[in-house]
Chains A and B, each alone.
Chain A
Amino acid sequence: MKIRINGHIRDVKGPTTIQDLLVQLGYANHFVAVAVNQNCIPKQKFPEQSVQDQDEVEILAPMAGG
C-alpha cells in the first residue's frame, strides 16, 4: 500500500499496525511521536492501531527549538 510518511509517498507492506510500521521503516528504538491523518496517536495504541492505504503519517522527534 502507499502511505505518505513525513511528506514522501512510500510503498509499505500492509496491512500493518503503527508499531510494525515504525519497525519496518527503521524507527524501532526512536523516541518519536506519531500522527495519522492529522490525529495524534497515543503511544499505547501503536500496537493496535493500523494504517491504511493513502494514509498520511507524521513521525516527529524532539529537536532543538527556541
Chain B
Amino acid sequence: MWTLADKTLKSRLFLGSARYPSPEILQQSIIASSTEVVTVSLRRESAQQNTGNRFWDYLRQTGVHILPNTAGCLSVREAILTAHMSRELFQTHWIKLEVIGNDDTLQPDPFGTVEAARILCAEGFEVFPYTTDDLVVAEKLVSVGCRIIMPWGSPIGTGQGLRNLEALKTLRQRLPGITLVVDAGIGRPSHATQALELGFDAVLVNTAVALAHDPVRMAQGFAAAVDAGRWGYEAGMMEASSRAQASSPTVGIPFWHQEDAH
C-alpha cells in the first residue's frame, strides 16, 4: 500500500483512457490492470451524441479514482477553466495539469505549467503536473505547491520509453519527498519496470496498452511489470560491475591442475 495525495492505493499503475478500440475493452483493461487511477478529459459534445454519458457509465462501474486532465489546453486560462469544470463535474480536486507548448512534440510549456499550478494549488486543487525531466521546472512546481510531479519518459504516444535516464535519476535524488510518476512515452512493460526500479512511485500508461494487439493482456503485463520494478527497488539491487566475478565457488573446481593454471 502506498499514499497518493489523500488516498491509499495498492497499485502503482495509472491508466489513461484514450485510444482504446471500444469502451468495453477499456473497461476490461482497467480491471485486468488492477489500476485504481484513470485519467479522463473534458470535450465538447453535441446534444445528439450523448457519448459522454455512456463513457462515464463504463468508467464508474470500475470504481477507480478519476484523474481529469487539461489535455489540449494551450494557455494558463484554458487550463484553469478546464480544471474548474472538471472539479464541478467529477467532484474531485485532483487535476492532471497539461499546458502544451508545442503542437508537434506535445511538450509541456514549462512557464504556463508553473503559473497554472500556482493558481490551482492556491485554490485547493491536488495538481498532478505533466512536465519534462527538467529539474529546475520540477523544483519550481514543488515551490508553488505541487506534491506530485509527472515527468515524461519521452513525448506523448511515442512509446520510446525513458529517453533520459540520468535526468530521471536526478529528479528522484533531488526530490526525495515528492511523489514522482513517469507519464508519457512508455511503450512496453520493461519501460515501466525501469521507472519503478529507479524509485519512481508510479507510472501512467495509455497508448502502450490501448494500441496493443491485445490491450487486456497488455494491461496485465504492465501490472506485473510495475510490481517487478517496485519489488526490485525495495529489495535493493546489486551494483553493476565492469569486472567479471564467478558466481560458482572457485574452491574445489573439478579437473583443475596447478600446472595448467593461468
Contact = CB atoms under 8 A, between A and B. Distances in A.
B52 interface: yes
Given A7-B44, A40-B84, A63-B42, A33 B16 contact: no
Given A38-B77, A66-B16, A59 B42 contact: no
Most buried by A among B52, B59, B204: B52
B41 A65 contact: yes
Contacts of A59: 44-45
Most interface-central of B40, B55, B85, B184 (chain A CB within 10 A): B85
Interface in B1-57: 16-20, 26, 39-48, 50-53, 55-56
Contacts of B26: 64
Contacts of B89: 31-33, 60, 62
B88 interface: yes
A61 B43 contact: yes
Interface stretch (A11-19, A21-29, A47-55): A21-29
B42 A60 contact: yes
B52 A65 contact: no
B132 interface: no
Contacts of B43: 60-61, 63
A12 to B, nearest CB: 13
Interface residues of B, number: 40
A66 to B, nearest CB: 3
A20 to B, nearest CB: 14
Given A40-B84, A63-B52, A58 B16 contact: no
Given A32-B89, A61-B42, A61-B43, A66 B52 contact: no
B44 A58 contact: yes
B56 A33 contact: no
B41 A64 contact: yes
B88 A33 contact: yes
A30 B52 contact: yes
Contacts of A34: 85
A30 B50 CA distance: 6
Contacts of B39: 65-66
B71 A66 contact: yes
A40 to B, nearest CB: 4
A38 B81 contact: yes
Contacts of A38: 77, 81
B156 interface: yes
B154 to A, nearest CB: 14
14 contacts: A29-B50, A29-B53, A31-B53, A35-B81, A40-B81, A40-B85, A59-B44, A60-B45, A61-B44, A63-B45, A63-B55, A64-B18, A65-B40, A66-B184
Top-10 shortest CB links A-B: A61-B52, A65-B41, A26-B47, A66-B16, A66-B206, A40-B84, A61-B45, A33-B85, A33-B89, A63-B43
Interface of A: 6-7, 25-27, 29-35, 38-43, 58-66
